Amino acid sequence: MSTRPESLFPLFSSLEKLDGIGPKSARLLEGMGIERPGDLVATLPHRVVDRRRKLSVREVDPPCTATIEVLILAHRPASRPGGPHRVDVRDADSDWTLIFFRAQRAWLENQLPVGEKRLVSGKIELFEGRAQMVHPDHMVHPDQADSLPQFEPVYPATAGLTQKTIARAVGAALATVPDLAEWIDPSLKADRAWPDWKAALEQAHQPSGQGDMSPDSPVRARLAYDEVFAHQLTLGLARAQQRRLPGRASVGTDAYLQPLLRSLPYAPTSAQSRAIQEIQADMAGHTRMNRLLQGDVGAGKTLVALAALLTAAEAGGQGVMMAPTEILARQHLESLAPLLAPLSVRIELLTGRDKSGIRRQKLAALAEGEIDILIGTHAVFQQDVHFHDLRLAVIDEQHRFGVAQRLALGEKGQAVDVLVMTATPIPRSLALSQYGDMDVSILDEKPPGRIPVQTSAIQIGRIDAIVDRLDVAMRSGTQAYWVCPLVEESETVALTAAEERFKALRRQLGEGRVGLVHGQMRPEEKDAAMARFVAGETGLLVATTVIEVGVNVPNATIMVIEGAESFGLAQLHQLRGRVGRGADASHCMLIYTPPLSEGGRRRIETLRDSEDGFRIAEADLALRGAGDLLGTAQSGLPRFRIADLERQAGLMKTAQQDARLLLETDPELKSPRGEAARVLLWLMEQDRALRLLKVG
């Protein structure tokens, strides 16, 4: 099936073919990301209005929506232009009033004739003790009661689009929905009591109560599952294609690794040992490794990466480790070189700032195979960089590198194994959606001897006391960070600018004791400021979040985060991870400006109460949502219309297992269920996955 199935054509046609949708409405819908009828049926109501009939206003608790049959008693037209036109009505038990502003008297008297009955539905409010309904949503003859839904869906809307227009367009789009063969595993569908796809769509747009709006309702869970199953099928096909590419077995001899492990002053954690074994097994196999190493701050990812690089060297090849900044690349070199010196393993650093003569020497040694392990920045991607036999590429902080760069690095060798590292704990559901095509190793233990960082929340009014404490600490030789959220003053966000705070702290603590780093400095300025701090020349580093990832200064034991309430939880946790890296007790001070929002309060409390990055990530997901957590634009996260990753995390795991099972038993998707799954991929616009089938 190389082209879109004909049965899906109506869902991919123009919006203007739908009843009541003209060019203007179509443009407004497109502004909401709804470009085709298929998008419209996948845009579910976000709430429901209960319009079940009541006998009297005495049965309701205003303010609330109610539907009541009334007898029209009298019209009291507006006494002044723009004033209210009142219509007195009586229900089964009470007299009350309908209110209309700027209404045409003749039209109203025709719609609501005195002495006749009408069914009215709208918001009941109390005004001076009397019930009233301003501008009813519906007014129909009792004979037309069936035209009013008991539960009316309410859709996301935009200015210029009425609920009536959207509902009519949805009805027209639903009429074009075809019956499709089932792609869900029959036993799973029966176990969850899920309806068929078409029936689920129809029921989702015609809810029969508040329960139907829950992500856990069979209707919504089924439609959410379709989205995540299509996504996992796509990742599964990408993974299968990756595995069809021939790999090279890189079998370690332990000639370097075992002496290294014996020389360490501590034993690896069981999580580190497990990850090393998983990576070695991948590298020894005949398919290419594509593995994610996920670990909390300080969990020891660097040792695991080094073990993998040594395995490549033991197998007679080379390894490269990519870091997103020169500071981090130098730091990796400085921490690894002393460990490798006794092993006769040659390690070098390649950055964009190497002088031409030194660069030529390094490139020649690399091409000859004299360099076993290369640490580098983006400079490694340049065309003149050639390896003798590149076996392994380790990529630190994956979210800083694009997929294209990852592939470019892989092309520097023959069938290169890839290990991606991230220090950002990602909740399981998001890891599956973002890295579902990769195998995952998780470091969920801290090496022994790490002292927990004491975390406290302090109001902005006590800032002078914090400065005094820093002064005392710095006089005793301790270093500290002071993180500010913004570089420049913003009128809309009242947060202290880093440069202003830097000047103030320099005045209070002394000119040469305070350094500054922010993202708008030139790279060489930034590196120089960082180098002075690493060397201990400055005691306090004022910075924006550029210091979030990887910087390792064991002597820095105090982290001050100003405007802590404006940061995400994961970011706060990363920043706190910059301290607590030495033998001394460390402190993190969260400065906030009261009053705190509910979200700000929960973030600060969560951080104060826990050092577990995975628990913090789950809390962050619950507070902020998936897109914000990873920054959807650059995270590679799919944009689901229906699935809610925070509240339906279990669906992602089930979908991954189901997709892998289907592809194991039917890798070409040729069976009846496989053909149905192909239709699903077209439906969800995952047709690029179908091209992967042809590649294989």
pLDDT tens for each residue of 104-143: 889 999 999 999 999 999 999 999 889 999 999 999 999 9
Q: Is the peptide bond before 63 cis (omega within 30 degrees of 0)?
A: yes
pLDDT reading at 442 higher than 90: no
Q: Which of 287-291, 487-491, 535-539, 616-620 has the lowest mean pLDDT?
A: 487-491
Last residue of a domain, one of 381, 411, 443: 443
The tokens for 124 are 């009941």
pLDDT reading at 201 higher than 90: yes
* Average pLDDT of the segment spanning 253-281: 93
Q: How far apart are CA 60 and CA 38, in angstroms?
A: 39
What confidence score (pLDDT) does residue 97 get?
A: 96
* Average pLDDT of the segment spanning 431-444: 70
pLDDT reading at 629 higher than 60: no
What confidence score (pLDDT) does residue 433 get?
A: 56
Q: How confident is the model at residue 292 (pLDDT cuts 50, 70, 90)?
A: confident
Taking each helix axis from N to C end, the angle separating 218-244 and 687-695, rounded to the nearest 10 degrees, works out to 30
pLDDT reading at 494 higher than 60: no
Q: Do 71 and 136 sit in the same domain of this protein?
A: yes
pLDDT reading at 100 higher than 80: yes
What confidence score (pLDDT) does residue 491 get?
A: 36
Residue 352: name the closest of 519, 521, 527 by CA: 527
Q: How far apart are CA 198 and CA 408, in angstroms?
A: 43
What confidence score (pLDDT) does residue 636 get?
A: 41
- Give the bridge partners for 321, in sequence order: 375, 394
Indicate the number of domains in the chain: 4
Q: Are strands 556-562 and 587-592 parallel, antiparallel or unpaired?
A: parallel
159-195 pLDDT, tens digit per residue, is: 778 888 888 889 999 999 999 999 999 999 999 999 9
What confidence score (pLDDT) does residue 474 get?
A: 93
CATH at residue 105? 2.40.50.140
* Average pLDDT of the segment spanning 382-408: 74
* Average pLDDT of the segment spanning 314-326: 90
Within a domain: 544: yes
What percentage of residues in the chain have a pLDDT greater than 90? 45
Q: Do 385 and 486 sit in the same domain of this protein?
A: no
Last residue of a domain, one of 591, 610, 629: 610
Phi, psi of 253 (to 5 degrees): -110, -5
Within a domain: 238: no
What confidence score (pLDDT) does residue 452 get?
A: 83
Q: Do 520 and 559 sit in the same domain of this protein?
A: yes
Q: Which of 438-447, 493-502, 631-640 has the lowest mean pLDDT?
A: 631-640
At 430 the three-state DSSP class reads helix
pTM of the model: 0.62
Last residue of a domain, one of 123, 144, 165: 144
pLDDT reading at 692 higher than 70: no
Q: Do 14 and 69 sit in the same domain of this protein?
A: no
What confidence score (pLDDT) does residue 631 get?
A: 37
What confidence score (pLDDT) does residue 55 get?
A: 94
* Average pLDDT of the segment spanning 667-683: 93
Q: What is the mean pLDDT of the chain?
A: 84
577-606 pLDDT, tens digit per residue, is: 888 877 788 999 999 988 988 888 888 888
Q: How confident is the model at residue 622 (pLDDT cuts 50, 70, 90)?
A: low
Q: Do 514 and 592 sit in the same domain of this protein?
A: yes
Q: How far apart are CA 326 and CA 550, in angstroms?
A: 11
User: Does residue 485 or residue 265 have the better pLDDT?
Assistant: 265
Q: How far apart are CA 463 and CA 496, in angstroms?
A: 12
70-81 pLDDT, tens digit per residue, is: 999 999 998 888
What confidence score (pLDDT) does residue 561 get?
A: 93
642-672 pLDDT, tens digit per residue, is: 887 667 778 888 998 899 899 999 998 999 9
325-360 pLDDT, tens digit per residue, is: 787 888 889 889 999 999 989 999 998 888 888 999
The tokens for 340 are 């490798």
Q: Do 551 and 599 sit in the same domain of this protein?
A: yes
Within a domain: 185: yes
Q: Do 483 and 343 sit in the same domain of this protein?
A: no
Residue 109: name the closest of 87, 133, 134 by CA: 87
What percentage of residues in the chain have a pLDDT greater than 70? 87
590 and 456 in contact (C-beta within 8 Å)? Answer: yes
Q: Do 370 and 511 sit in the same domain of this protein?
A: no
At 488 the three-state DSSP class reads coil
**Parent domain of 205:** 6-48+157-213
Residue 15: name the closest of 157, 202, 176 by CA: 176
Q: Do 459 and 421 sit in the same domain of this protein?
A: no
Q: Do 32 and 167 sit in the same domain of this protein?
A: yes
Q: Do 481 and 538 sit in the same domain of this protein?
A: yes
Cα distances (angstroms) measured from residue 83 to each of 101, 122, 139, 384, 662: 6, 20, 21, 80, 67
Q: Do 174 and 32 sit in the same domain of this protein?
A: yes
DSSP string, 361-386: HHHHHHHHT--SEEEESGGGGSTT--
Within a domain: 676: no
Q: Which of 9-18, 365-374, 428-437, 509-518 has the lowest mean pLDDT?
A: 428-437
User: Does residue 552 or residue 207 have the better pLDDT?
Assistant: 207
